[in-house]
Chain A
Amino acid sequence: MTDWPILSTVTFLPLLGAAFILLIRGNEATVARNSRHVALWTTVATFAISLLLIAGFDTTTAEFQFEEFTPWLPEFGIGYHLGIDGISVFFLLLTTFLVPICIISCWQAVQTRVREYMIAFLVLETFMVGVFCSLDLMMFYIFFEGQLIPMFLIIGIWGGARRVYSAYKFFLYTLVGSVLFLLAILFMYFQTGTTDIPALMSHVWTPAMQTWLWLALFASFAVKLPMWPFHTWLPDAHVEAPTAGSVILAGILLKMGGYGFLRFSLPMFPDASEFFMPFIFALSVVAVIYTSLVALMQQDMKKLIAYSSVAHMGIVTIGLFTFTGQGIEGGIFQMLSHGVLSAALFLIVGVIYDRMHSREIAAYGGLVHRMPVYAFVFMVIMLASIGLPATSGFVGEFLIFVGVFQVNTWVAMLGLTGVILGAAYMLWLYRRVIFGELTKENLKSIKDLNMREIGFFAPLVVLALFMGIYPKPFLDVLHVSVENLIAQTEMARMGGAEVVADLVPDALAKVLR
């Protein structure tokens, strides 16, 4: 049991499933049906195995657990190194949890090139899981960038009318960031002779190096997250992506930026992180208010939710850069919660899109008359998304604000205005879609959720409530690792932010102060 490489299994099992799908032979209908089943069972098995990780997780240590190490390119200091700690374990679980839901959700929606679609998803899962458990920078980079390819294909092939434009926008944006990331990796490698993450964490960088490396990483993570003003790819990508693509995009891919900040920027470049704190706060606060206002005026449901994601992620970055236990734990929790909620929201849009083939808010109204169960699910998720207490959205948000209030009350206050606006656009959306008279002819025969749909919404709804009422099991896992992270940043801090300031070009320093 102990020497069974669970992490490798979880990472590569989906790839195995993909290979299996490639081997399926027969006419188109057979291939489609078998591909679906293989994909579903592979991902369910992956999820089941990944549960072993949390079952066997030791919450008393900040060390990496379930570690696996094999030299890969020893002459270059590059190894195959996997492991998880309190910070990454839930992101990994979130991934393995959401992918089967995606597969079920597109059971009927996707009818063309089913085989390729399923393969793309399984490959994507391998990459995503890989990102969260890589302990080697090179591997991390391969997984991190590799997931662009299946995602690009999912949007570009199974997407909506403007899919090509969106796919390119998505690809170009992220590619620009990743080039700088790659440069940073190479630089770090030449400085230290290794790409092993734990080893790099104990390396102390001079403040000047920290600044430039931090900026290079920031370029990549800020696009992924996305932070304002690098967010404009997101609404377009979401609008054109098929439902399951949006779910993965919002649920997992957006979290990679936050995870990157946690894994690299904060512990490795603490001085630079502290120095850029006001900069991050400024961008985040702008993001929260700006995108909330924009969300208010959207006519397309998916765009609205996409913009709301940017606002939520803005609150996350505020939390991460407070350097307080509450802020960082809140940030992580908020990412997990957002993973569940945004996934559920896109599925909610997907349900009516599958039926009516429109994302326009104006095309709906009065759905509660025909779809009471749907209205209930939407209500719970909406309330969680606007952060009502005893839902998952509240816990993360509140902890973040507890953290940031200790650091900067202006940021706390301005961030909280986003909470008001958040309620405004979500309630307004809900009202226009769900409430009112059912007047539109084509809606009069719309059907409520079927068993398959209830099946994949149920775990999401339960999780949204459970995480809000009893978040302790989740937070307990985070504590030690987050404390360790904060200790690391404090230890590694040599001379404080002032030293960095001396080495940053004056003009840049002026802007940031």
Chain B
Amino acid sequence: MLLYIAPVFLPLIGAAITGLFGRFLGDRPSQIISCGAMGLAALASIFVFNNVVMQGEVQQIFLFNWMTSGSFQVDWALRIDELTAMMVFTVSIVSFLIHVYSIGYMAHDSSIPRFFSYLSLFTFFMLALVTSDNFLQLYFGWEGVGLVSYLLIGFWYKRPAANAAAIKAFIVNRVGDFGFGLGILAIYVAFGSVSFDTVFAAAPEKVGSEFEFLGHYFDVLTVICILLFVGAMGKSAQFLLHTWLPDAMEGPTPVSALIHAATMVTAGVFLVARTSPLFEYAPIALAVVTVIGATTAIFAATIAITQNDIKRVIAYSTCSQLGYMFFACGVSAYSASIFHLTTHAFFKALLFLGAGSVIHAMSDEQDMRKMGGIWKAIPLTYMLMWIGSLALAGIPFFSGFFSKDVILESAFAASTGLGHYAFAAGIAAAVLTAIYSWRLIILTFHGKPRADEKVMAHVHESPPIMTVPLILLAVGAIISGYLLLPMVGTETDFWGTSILVLPHHHALEGAHHVDFWVKALPTIVAVIGILAAYFLFLAKPQLPALLAERLRPLYLLSFNKYYFDELYDWAFVRPMKYLGHGLWKQGDGGVIDGVGPDGVAATAVAIARRVVRLQTGYVFHYAFLMLAGVAVIITWFLILG
């Protein structure tokens, strides 16, 4: 039992020690403690993976009762099945590598213990999220990772931009959580429980039953699944609720890699996969997931091609890749989705940390317009970025190739209108993915240096404490696709009962039997994209500016992220402030006080002034009080007597 608890609670212990006593311990001991705890957790997670996935020993561990009120009962408990074990494995390994990398990256920061404490705390919440046994505990982890994300985005709290981004992330996530919360309530009302076992077992019986929601009757499972998905949209930065993720890049780069690429943002995907026993019976909800996922995939990719901040390009890329994972879920290919989640965790963390290494080399410069011509100075980073990009683009034998292909094939094999939409969007996004990835590589590493001489003189390769984790991630980015291929195999029973796919949802099965052109197309478009990027940004570097000029409205739309921030500011933020101010001054001050107490008080004081001539100082208060008291008592006795 201890083995299964260890990966979850070791990071918490590390976080508590470094957080509470870090200032007294000093930087180095704090690093050792948090990395040590995290390393042990990662080690334990390997055993957990072996026991649960390889040996099939699913674990359920009861800790203690959380709350009980009538029939509403929730426990703190761990549930470690195949899906969870896979997530625990990915999260703790990636987290450990990023912990180590951070020792180097954050070496010059003034609050190192705080940083490591947050990082470990995040890992704890993330692991609590994936190991939860019921919806409410999942919500605990969910809010917890959101909190630490808020703390880490705003880690450099001197910067106003970082603070603003942190709050934005929290609030946008709260909008998603609003849906998630309602979803949990609906689950309780429909099922009388929030525990996974009970809910999932009862799901088939609920097919077709309706309940009243906001004055109308709806299908229970559809409502529940859509509400849960709203939560997933917030956390995974899907279309409409995506605005926080690019801003979140204000946080330190290891944070972007761990939280905003590899783990936390994939929690939404995990949620949908976890609740597959509900989604499977809610075809409308699945359709919504497909549409939103596919739209996000293409939408975010069109923004990524015009951004100039190296981290923002990767952030939009993450957004887009999460879209792939969602539409995979939407066509019931959950295992393909989790497969991509895992490979993505490796190569996207690699890309972010590689970008971090570049930023480190360029004296904290993030604007690609001020980079260029540095590949010879930092060859190792350059090579690692290539590996990450190849995996992302889905070039054969790199991990992304296996996982992205199976997603696109599944979408095609679903042979529904929406499936084909997702397939088309996915292919289009794949072209764009290749273009923006190589645009990033070319602008960053090739061409003439655009930084000033002082920066250029200082360009240097990162220390081994940073590059070794990068190399390990690169190994993962290369081999994880091939190694984990059984996840989507049809012969092996990788997932046990942790993911439910109804027999007539055969997209994944069909993915193995699609025509050759479907299998080849993703690779072909990726190669075309790379060549296009080469042509546009290296061979004819004057072309992009010309294109931007010709297609100015489109360019501006993409460059300004479709004006979503401005739209939300206009539609929500400003009206709310206006309303708040108006209600305060006009509502409270004008109407309520004017009619009520101030009017009455004015009259009372006026009368009192005439009666009593002792209106100055405290005496007046006492007198008024005594009068009031006496009046009450006399009235009482008079009426009573």
Contact = CB atoms under 8 A, between A and B. Distances in A.
User: Do they bind each other?
Assistant: yes
Instruction: List the 5 shortest-distance A-B pairs measured between CB atoms, nearest first.
Output: A325-B70, A293-B580, A389-B140, A297-B580, A405-B185
Contacts of B549: none
Contact of A326 (B69, B178, B592, B621): B69
A168 B601 contact: yes
A156 interface: yes
A165 B65 CA distance: 49
B487 interface: no
Contact of A383 (B147, B175, B579, B605): B147
Contacts of B140: 389-390
A377 interface: no
Given A172-B604, A383-B147, A405-B185, A420 B175 contact: yes
Interface in B49-84: 64-70, 72
Interface string B577-597: 101110110011000110011
Interface in B171-220: 171, 174-175, 177-178, 181-182, 185-186, 188-189, 212-215
A169 B66 CA distance: 43
Contacts of B171: 420, 423-424, 427
A436 B160 CA distance: 6
B618 interface: yes
A231 B587 CA distance: 12
A107 to B, nearest CB: 24
A401 B177 CA distance: 14
A417 B175 CA distance: 8
Q: Kindly state the interface size class of chain A when it binds its partner.
A: 35 or more
A155 B144 CA distance: 40
Contacts of A17: none
Contacts of B139: 389
B569 to A, nearest CB: 14
B504 interface: no
A162 to B, nearest CB: 13
B280 interface: no
A435 B162 CA distance: 10
A409 B186 CA distance: 9
Interface string A69-106: 00000001000000000000000000000000000000
Given A172-B600, A293-B580, A431-B163, A398 B136 contact: yes
Given A152-B625, A402-B188, 5 more contacts: A173-B596, A405-B185, A409-B213, A423-B170, A431-B154
Pick the most buried of B64, B72, B600: most chain A CB atoms within 10 A of its CB.
B72
B580 A475 contact: no
B636 interface: yes
Contact of B174 (A171, A410, A423, A479): A423
A476 B66 CA distance: 12
B143 interface: yes
Contact of B70 (A324, A421, A428): A324
Interface of B: 23, 64-70, 72, 136, 139-140, 143-144, 147, 150, 154, 157-158, 160, 163, 166-167, 170-171, 174-175, 177-178, 181-182, 185-186, 188-189, 212-215, 576-577, 579-581, 583-584, 587-588, 592-593, 596-598, 600-601, 604-605, 618, 621, 625, 628-629, 632, 635-636, 639-640
Nearest to B629: A149
A325 B167 contact: no
A449 interface: no
A263 B390 CA distance: 69
Interface in A157-191: 157, 164-165, 167-169, 171-173, 175-176, 182, 186
B181 to A, nearest CB: 6
B575 to A, nearest CB: 10
A38 B178 CA distance: 49
Contacts of B150: 427
B583 A471 contact: no
Nearest to A368: B157
Contacts of A409: 212-215
B69 A389 contact: no
Contacts of A419: 174, 177-178, 181
20 contacts: A149-B625, A152-B625, A168-B601, A172-B600, A173-B596, A182-B635, A186-B640, A235-B588, A290-B583, A294-B587, A405-B185, A405-B186, A410-B214, A410-B215, A419-B178, A420-B171, A436-B163, A469-B66, A472-B67, A475-B69
Contacts of B621: 152-153, 156-157, 164, 167
B570 to A, nearest CB: 17
Contacts of A372: 23
A142 to B, nearest CB: 10
A290 B587 contact: yes
A396 to B, nearest CB: 10
Contacts of A293: 576, 579-580, 583
A307 to B, nearest CB: 8
A232 interface: yes
A399 B69 contact: yes
B76 to A, nearest CB: 8
B167 A428 contact: yes
A446 interface: no
A229 interface: yes
Contacts of A231: 588
Contact of A182 (B178, B584, B632): B632
B601 A399 contact: no
A296 interface: yes
A63 B72 CA distance: 24
B5 to A, nearest CB: 16
B136 A168 contact: no
A298 interface: yes
B147 A296 contact: no
A471 B178 contact: no
A225 B551 CA distance: 60
B588 A401 contact: no
Contacts of A362: none
